[in-house]
Chain A
């Protein structure tokens, strides 16, 4: 059971690169796929060009992989389980490198991993017997397992009769150093004869209270899973069963303080989570779900190399929904989240963005996010929720997701984003989404070059930010609408099923606005030319459809107009979904064909032709 899957160890990262997700290799070898083959769930439907193949693993599934790897190492190296665990963690779960290093020099690996003591280690005075026997065995004959220490007379034989706290035993590889006469804990200075004391193989002995406080502090405050002996410069690492014996009371142990035991149980769970996170971080085919209090992992070998990220946008989902148990009770002000509840845990496998940034690839999304951060000052004014009517200058507040604004005072209809008259937005020739490069060109000739560059950025940023804001406002509006629909279920003959069309429409809108948002990041960096124009045509078609649907769901709802509205909304929702599909699919195909050219240098692509570089 231990060797039915295998990591490709050659491609493991040896350095810290993998921690932040930057990966330097350029190829995915076929061997990399082995883990995915092994855990692949039942046959999936055919993937669209903008989708990646991935699987989600629960915490216990990852634990099983960890167990299998560990047992595999136990079998090969002939070491016990806790030794194998510490060795694997020390070598970042790279089994092949571990085996190689171990075959080369077992004692060095054991010492480096904190499993064994160095030969020069000076024993504390409390353990004179041990020093003798281990020095007589010599360095090469020493059996490289933790159990080697069992060859040495254990102190339990001599102290158990006098110890008042030996009513239960501790797992084998550790030692319960029983209360020696006049034991004084060197950390808390407690010398109560009833103290329970513990030590690792180094025999550095402390009271169990200090051990607990130390482990809790390391795990909870530092998020550390590698916990060394408390002695200064002692490199021994506490094995898992030692940690467990400290945090989890053993059967038959005297009952302790219930709050403390509950807290310790939490710390033990956190420790196990840290171990899983570490395993996941060591394997570039895996990524831990970034959603709060979620413990699932996603496996996506097809996005594990840097090269693959120039052609795919690996948006994955861990399989879970919602936002964690304890967040269930949402305050009134978070009503918007109500509509988001049950939303799946979508994130990007290739970069730290915790959202669906399709259709744009990670490198460009990252450039855009950085640009937005750097320019946030200048772009701040856009976030304002109010604008003036271009006709009568009265203040207009945006309160829905729709961009079709009508001035309450003068009835002037205009577009919220470009402030142009709305009458022109339905027609083919009007493009609210397209930045007029020509105007920019003229401005460039004059001395206002930097102003033109800012305006170009603001054109895209404005639309990017607007879709984000509109999506939120639509959700707010939906929360209100949903309430109204619930009331109508009571006052009219409508059934629950019949009022679901609104929910579907809002969900689709949210998805499409997400796509639209990122199309503006993409368009900002696309080199001008035919390809960009086609991209912007698709973008415009989706945007128009989205705005129409947005407007529809904001129309007043009365029981008598529901059947018509439902028909209209349902049709529009289907159409919008189709337009979204077109944008995603065409962009993804463009990446696969190498069709997209940039106006700035993008990681993994050739530098742009100088004539295409944006000012």
Chain B
């Protein structure tokens, strides 16, 4: 039997049989070389309570070349592209070793969520946010976890400013609210446009108004 197929099949079976691990690997279609990994956000982090899905593509020369992984679930994290889900992690590149498995790689992703590496960022905007204001970053990451990863609504935080939770600036929200749009809607649109950092200068007011009207 094809060594790659045998290995992947065994990895999938082992992962299924392992009741102690909270990492799951599932088929996407019939191919054993296109999979979906799932794991819970690590406790004690802004990702806690969320469920994160990862797209897994097994290359032809696996396991001698690294597996290709990216987040399906949107994640607010310095080493994950907030737009594409692409991941910056050494073991997915040069530090890959054929003894690593899909499961161990998913566990590494899980621990990446615990310990961001802002000096080797995948998403410069997010990394900047992380470096300049840790608490505001965590609010946004928690907010994304709730919105995209099915995380819990944070009871203790109810009544807190929704603008800060969305990682936005009050002045920006006020400005568009002043044009006559409902505050919730402004927050929602600006959050989805990632209206932060240099995006503020790049996204025109017209674009935002268009979105607010749609």
Tell whether, in the assembled complex, residue B6 and residue A214 are in contact, meaning their CB atoms are under 8 Å apart.
Answer: no
Is B204 close to A, CB under 8 A? Answer: no
Tell whether, in the assembled complex, residue A230 and residue B61 are in contact, meaning their CB atoms are under 8 Å apart.
Answer: no
Q: Which residues of B from 30 to 74 have beta carbons under 8 Å from A?
A: 61, 63-65
Task: Give the complex CA separation of A233 and B94 in angstroms.
Answer: 11
Is B183 close to A, CB under 8 A? Answer: no
Contacts of A189 in B (CB 8 A): 6-7, 10
Is B97 close to A, CB under 8 A? Answer: yes
Is A217 close to B, CB under 8 A? Answer: yes
Instruction: Return the contact of A213 from the options B3, B91, B97, B100 (Cβ within 8 A).
Output: B3
Contacts of B100 in A (CB 8 A): 232
Is B152 close to A, CB under 8 A? Answer: no
Contacts of A218 in B (CB 8 A): 64
Q: Which residues of A from 299 to 331 have beta carbons under 8 Å from B?
A: none
Task: Give the complex CA separation of A188 and B91 in angstroms.
Answer: 19
Q: Mark contacts of B70-85 with chain A using CB atoms, 8 A cut-off: 1 yes-contact digit, 0 otherwise.
A: 0000000000000000
Contacts of A190 in B (CB 8 A): 3, 6
Distance in angstroms from A188 CB to nearest chain B CB is 5
Q: Which of B10, B65, B91, B98 has the most CB of A within 10 A?
A: B98
Is A426 close to B, CB under 8 A? Answer: no
Q: Mark contacts of B121-133 with chain A using CB atoms, 8 A cut-off: 1 yes-contact digit, 0 otherwise.
A: 0000000000000
Tell whether, in the assembled complex, residue A213 and residue B61 are in contact, meaning their CB atoms are under 8 Å apart.
Answer: yes
Q: Mark contacts of B187-210 with chain A using CB atoms, 8 A cut-off: 1 yes-contact digit, 0 otherwise.
A: 000000000000000000000000
Q: Which of A187, A216, A218 has the most CB of B within 10 A?
A: A187
Answer whether A210 and B65 are a contact pair too, CB < 8 Å, given A188-B3, A189-B6, A189-B7: no
Tell whether, in the assembled complex, residue B98 and residue A230 are in contact, meaning their CB atoms are under 8 Å apart.
Answer: yes
Contacts of B6 in A (CB 8 A): 188-190
Contacts of B95 in A (CB 8 A): 232-233
Tell whether, in the assembled complex, residue B61 and residue A232 are in contact, meaning their CB atoms are under 8 Å apart.
Answer: no
Tell whether, in the assembled complex, residue B99 and residue A187 are in contact, meaning their CB atoms are under 8 Å apart.
Answer: yes
Answer whether A217 and B64 are a contact pair too, CB < 8 Å, given A187-B98, A232-B99, A232-B100: yes
Tell whether, in the assembled complex, residue A231 and residue B3 are in contact, meaning their CB atoms are under 8 Å apart.
Answer: no
Is A560 close to B, CB under 8 A? Answer: no
Task: Give the complex CA separation of A599 and B91 in angstroms.
Answer: 51
Is A78 close to B, CB under 8 A? Answer: no
Contacts of A232 in B (CB 8 A): 91, 95, 97, 99-100
Tell whether, in the assembled complex, residue B99 and residue A230 are in contact, meaning their CB atoms are under 8 Å apart.
Answer: yes
Q: Mark contacts of A227-261 with chain B using CB atoms, 8 A cut-off: 1 yes-contact digit, 0 otherwise.
A: 00011111000000000000000000000000000
Task: Give the complex CA separation of A263 and B62 in angstroms.
Answer: 19
Instruction: Return the contact of B61 from the options A188, A206, A221, A234 (Cβ within 8 A).
Output: A221
Q: Which residues of A from 195 to 226 have beta carbons under 8 Å from B?
A: 206, 209-210, 213-214, 216-218, 221
Name A217's closest neighbour in chain B (CB-CB): B64
Task: Give the complex CA separation of A190 and B91 in angstroms.
Answer: 24
Answer whether A213 and B7 are a contact pair too, CB < 8 Å, given A230-B98, A232-B97: no
Is A153 close to B, CB under 8 A? Answer: no
Distance in angstroms from A436 CB to nearest chain B CB is 46
Task: Give the complex CA separation of A210 and B64 in angstroms.
Answer: 8
Tell whether, in the assembled complex, residue B99 and residue A186 are in contact, meaning their CB atoms are under 8 Å apart.
Answer: yes
Distance in angstroms from A264 CB to nearest chain B CB is 14
Tell whether, in the assembled complex, residue A231 and residue B7 are in contact, meaning their CB atoms are under 8 Å apart.
Answer: no
Task: Give the complex CA separation of A188 and B98 in angstroms.
Answer: 9
Contacts of B61 in A (CB 8 A): 213, 217, 221
Task: Give the complex CA separation of A369 and B99 in angstroms.
Answer: 47
Contacts of B91 in A (CB 8 A): 232
Contacts of B65 in A (CB 8 A): 217, 221
Contacts of B7 in A (CB 8 A): 187-189
Name A189's closest neighbour in chain B (CB-CB): B10
Tell whether, in the assembled complex, residue A214 and residue B98 are in contact, meaning their CB atoms are under 8 Å apart.
Answer: yes
Distance in angstroms from B63 CB to nearest chain A CB is 6
Task: Give the complex CA separation of A532 and B3 in angstroms.
Answer: 68
Contacts of A214 in B (CB 8 A): 64, 98
Contacts of A206 in B (CB 8 A): 98
Name A209's closest neighbour in chain B (CB-CB): B3
Task: Give the complex CA separation of A216 and B99 in angstroms.
Answer: 17
Tell whether, in the assembled complex, residue B10 and residue A187 are in contact, meaning their CB atoms are under 8 Å apart.
Answer: no
Contacts of A216 in B (CB 8 A): 64
Distance in angstroms from B102 CB to nearest chain A CB is 13
Task: Give the complex CA separation of A187 and B64 in angstroms.
Answer: 9
Tell whether, in the assembled complex, residue B10 and residue A210 are in contact, meaning their CB atoms are under 8 Å apart.
Answer: no
Distance in angstroms from A143 CB to nearest chain B CB is 29
Task: Give the complex CA separation of A232 and B99 in angstroms.
Answer: 7
Distance in angstroms from B97 CB to nearest chain A CB is 4
Name B63's closest neighbour in chain A (CB-CB): A187
Distance in angstroms from A260 CB to nearest chain B CB is 13
Tell whether, in the assembled complex, residue A213 and residue B99 are in contact, meaning their CB atoms are under 8 Å apart.
Answer: no
Distance in angstroms from B112 CB to nearest chain A CB is 16
Task: Give the complex CA separation of A187 and B97 in angstroms.
Answer: 10
Task: Give the complex CA separation of A221 and B59 in angstroms.
Answer: 12
Task: Give the complex CA separation of A488 and B63 in angstroms.
Answer: 64
Name A187's closest neighbour in chain B (CB-CB): B98
Distance in angstroms from A208 CB to nearest chain B CB is 12
Q: Mark contacts of B1-43 with chain A using CB atoms, 8 A cut-off: 1 yes-contact digit, 0 otherwise.
A: 0010011001000000000000000000000000000000000
Task: Give the complex CA separation of A231 and B97 in angstroms.
Answer: 6
Contacts of A233 in B (CB 8 A): 95, 97
Distance in angstroms from A158 CB to nearest chain B CB is 25
Task: Give the complex CA separation of A231 and B99 in angstroms.
Answer: 6
Distance in angstroms from B179 CB to nearest chain A CB is 42
Contacts of B97 in A (CB 8 A): 230-234
Contacts of B98 in A (CB 8 A): 187, 206, 210, 214, 230
Contacts of B63 in A (CB 8 A): 187
Name A234's closest neighbour in chain B (CB-CB): B97
Distance in angstroms from A127 CB to nearest chain B CB is 17
Task: Give the complex CA separation of A217 and B64 in angstroms.
Answer: 7
Task: Give the complex CA separation of A221 and B61 in angstroms.
Answer: 9
Task: Give the complex CA separation of A232 and B95 in angstroms.
Answer: 8
Name B61's closest neighbour in chain A (CB-CB): A217
Distance in angstroms from B62 CB to nearest chain A CB is 10
Name B104's closest neighbour in chain A (CB-CB): A232
Q: Which residues of A from 156 to 194 have beta carbons under 8 Å from B?
A: 186-190
Task: List 21 contacting pairs A-B, 8 Å CB cutoff, sorted by A.
Answer: A186-B99, A187-B7, A187-B63, A189-B6, A189-B7, A190-B3, A209-B3, A210-B64, A213-B3, A213-B61, A214-B64, A221-B61, A221-B65, A230-B98, A230-B99, A231-B97, A231-B99, A232-B91, A232-B95, A232-B97, A232-B99
With A209-B3, A217-B65, A230-B97 known, 13 other A-B pairs at CB within 8 A are A186-B99, A188-B6, A189-B10, A190-B6, A206-B98, A210-B64, A214-B98, A217-B64, A231-B97, A232-B95, A232-B97, A232-B99, A233-B95
10 smallest CB-CB distances across A and B, nearest first, come from: A232-B97, A217-B64, A217-B61, A188-B3, A230-B98, A214-B64, A189-B10, A187-B98, A186-B99, A188-B7
